[in-house]
Structure 1
Amino acid sequence: MTALAALLLAGVVVTYTALAKDQPVAARSGPLKDGPRLQVLTNGRLSTVSASDPGGPREVTEVQCDRAYSTAGTVACLKPVGPLSATGLVVMDASLRQRTALPLKGFPNRLRVSSTGRMVAWTLFIDGHSYATTGFSTQAGILDTRTGRLVKTLEDFTITVDGRPYRNSDVNFWGVTFTGDDNRFYATLSTNGHRYLVEGDFAAKTVRTLRENVECPSLSPDGTRIAYKSAVDADPKKGWRLSVLDLATQRITPLAETHSVDDQAVWLDDRTVAYALQTSDGTNNTWSVPADGTGSPRLLIPGANSPSPPEPPTSR
């Protein structure tokens, strides 16, 4: 970790603050349509679109986020960065009533909620703004919304690399994805010029490496595969290829998207993944592609990023 990153982290006061339940944080801007809906960010505001017509009309709320994710009635939001790199995690219910707030410092990067809605994980850039550069520093944390247990940084976990205990000051974690038991998770570990897929145990506070060149993992709904980005020729400066790893066979399937995808993909179902791409003028668009390597990319939601899987509509 760089000296600047260490200084920033030393000055970060991270506390778990339980705010009043049912505190409204957004007003409903219009009626929701029937059927499952996808949550996205539209110009930094929480929005929903019909899963059957994702390119159609959308409901846009007043809630501002740099990253957002929603599952099983839990809506997580990393707030836009303010003075002195101040941000924060806000956890809401399906009606966007605030349940929990956690002050943080850094630049929002990744965000995930477990399939049960219980566990929330985030990644912040503490120093730097790109995984393609050297000298960056990240902070990845996990919150158990049921018990209130907070892990400020995965760097506090016991690390095993290639079967051996490991410690190094340059360790960075990012891109957490949870299994269905709300305890095990996968993430990316970067150290000594290598980037690993790791499996973690939240209760035991341990992580172990599984294989190299697997970044920003996203576990499929059936728990059998991981969508991820892999650096071309193992060199992040050349960009990333979106791929899927079968956990049982270790078979890798490059997906039909050939543009460099610097995102943590989302499984819309067991057959399709979604991800964000930015155009040259800075516009974010959400795309989808089959998870078996067939087909071709499809523009799913124009002018939107940070997608979540489809969920039943709720009154917000």
Structure 2
Amino acid sequence: MNTRARILLAGAVALLLAAVAVGYVTLAADRTAATGRPAGAAPLSLGADGSRLLLVGDRRLSSTALADPNGPRQVGELECVRSYAAGGTVVCAHPDSQWSYRILVLDRDLTERKSIPIPGLPSRARVSPDGRMVAWTTFVGGDSYSGGGFATRTGIYDTATGELTSSLEDFAVTRDGAAYRSADVNYWGVTFGADDNRFYATLSTGGKRYLVEGDLAARTVRTVKENVECPSLSPDGTRLAFKQAVDGDPGKGWRLSVLDLASLQVTATAETASVDDQAAWLDDRTLAYTVRDSGGNPEVRSTAADGSGTPALLVAGAESPAVLHPSGL
């Protein structure tokens, strides 16, 4: 091969390599835009390799090792604004567009089992311990729990029967031992008991917020205690973590606290930052929850349920924590 031919061949090879490189970069960029993670990033693991923490970060479902929560994070393709998981079921509040959302009910492989269009802006999502029941809350008027003038819608879906309760607002209410009806009743923040029938939630009416205990089969709720919002039942079923309005005024923020269900005694946790979240239990002694800075950026912290110790940062830039166990989420 003469010198001219070698030069032409070298030039052609260089152009081919450049085209391949450009194509690879373009493909990687497209993949990042489509999936929300860089090309080559680890796929999302839901506990097969040890206990993990399910999270939402930058609107993507993700997980991290519970033993090293601020370590490497696995980022999935699914876009969610809220999520939770238990008993082999994952719930994701998925945006269809800027103002349209749906609840996706997924299995442990993130395969879709049910899709439910919902009104308004999702704010809470929960799954019962065995994975059967799924609940969610949306704002359908207003956008904050901190003042009046907002309305919520709370729904429940039974994965075993397919029964959908679109709203709790037609449940019969007993307040302070007497039947009660009012057009201003709102519910939010459901948490389920182990039997998939008993649940707890917040009921708002007449400017007051109550913890209610509900019976799904009977379609009833009864008030238990005032100033208890976004309850979260402990794994042993004896306590509720919740946010308590400071001085009874949500405008002053919320203190993360724990209610003993037998005595109705309240214990404030060591977390003094305002916690506008439905906390999750990492175990029977420890809570995980989201705190936001002045710019609205989230981080997941943990603190002891008995009020001892000091709050600790678990994961920066994330929210909606839920523990995933290898034995079944």
- Equivalent in the alignment of 1:47: 62
- Give 3-state SS (helix, strand or coil) of 2:251's partner: helix
- Rounded to whole Å, the distance in 1 between the matches of 2:52 and 2:246 is 34
Deviation at 1:81, TM superposition (A): 6.1
- Equivalent in the alignment of 2:86: 71
User: Is the 2:59–2:81 contact (alpha carbons within 8 Å) kept by the matching residues of 1?
Assistant: yes
- Rounded to whole Å, the distance in 1 between the matches of 2:253 and 2:118 is 29
Deviation at 1:312, TM superposition (A): 1.6
- Rounded to whole Å, the distance in 1 between the matches of 2:219 and 2:187 is 14
Higher relative helix content? 2
- Equivalent in the alignment of 1:99: 113
- 1:45-95 deviation digits (Å, cap 9, x = unpaired): 000100111010011001000100011110100112625x32100001111
- Give 3-state SS (helix, strand or coil) of 1:34's partner: coil
Deviation at 1:34, TM superposition (A): 2.5
- Equivalent in the alignment of 1:56: 71
- 1:169-203 deviation digits (Å, cap 9, x = unpaired): 11000000000000000000000011000000001
- Rounded to whole Å, the distance in 2 between the matches of 1:290 and 1:181 is 26
TM-score by length of 1: 0.88
User: Is the 1:81–1:106 contact (alpha carbons within 8 Å) kept by the matching residues of 2?
Assistant: no
AA of the residue aligned to 1:98: E
AA of the residue aligned to 2:107: D
Corresponding residue to 1:204 among 196, 208, 218: 218
Number of equivalences? 289
- Equivalent in the alignment of 1:8: none
Corresponding residue to 1:296 among 265, 286, 310: 310
- Rounded to whole Å, the distance in 1 between the matches of 2:151 and 2:117 is 19
- Rounded to whole Å, the distance in 2 between the matches of 1:115 and 1:131 is 26
- Rounded to whole Å, the distance in 2 between the matches of 1:63 and 1:258 is 33
Further displaced range: 280-289 or 148-157: 280-289
AA of the residue aligned to 1:271: R
- Rounded to whole Å, the distance in 2 between the matches of 1:95 and 1:72 is 13
Structure 1 gaps of 5+ residues are: 1-24
Structure 2 gaps of 5+ residues are: 1-34
- Equivalent in the alignment of 1:268: 282
Are the structure 2 counterparts of residues 96 and 26 from structure 1 closer, same or farther at C-alpha, using a change threshold of 3 Å?
Answer: farther
Deviation at 1:309, TM superposition (A): 1.8
User: Is the 2:51–2:323 contact (alpha carbons within 8 Å) kept by the matching residues of 1?
Assistant: no
- Equivalent in the alignment of 2:209: 195
- Give 3-state SS (helix, strand or coil) of 2:324's partner: coil
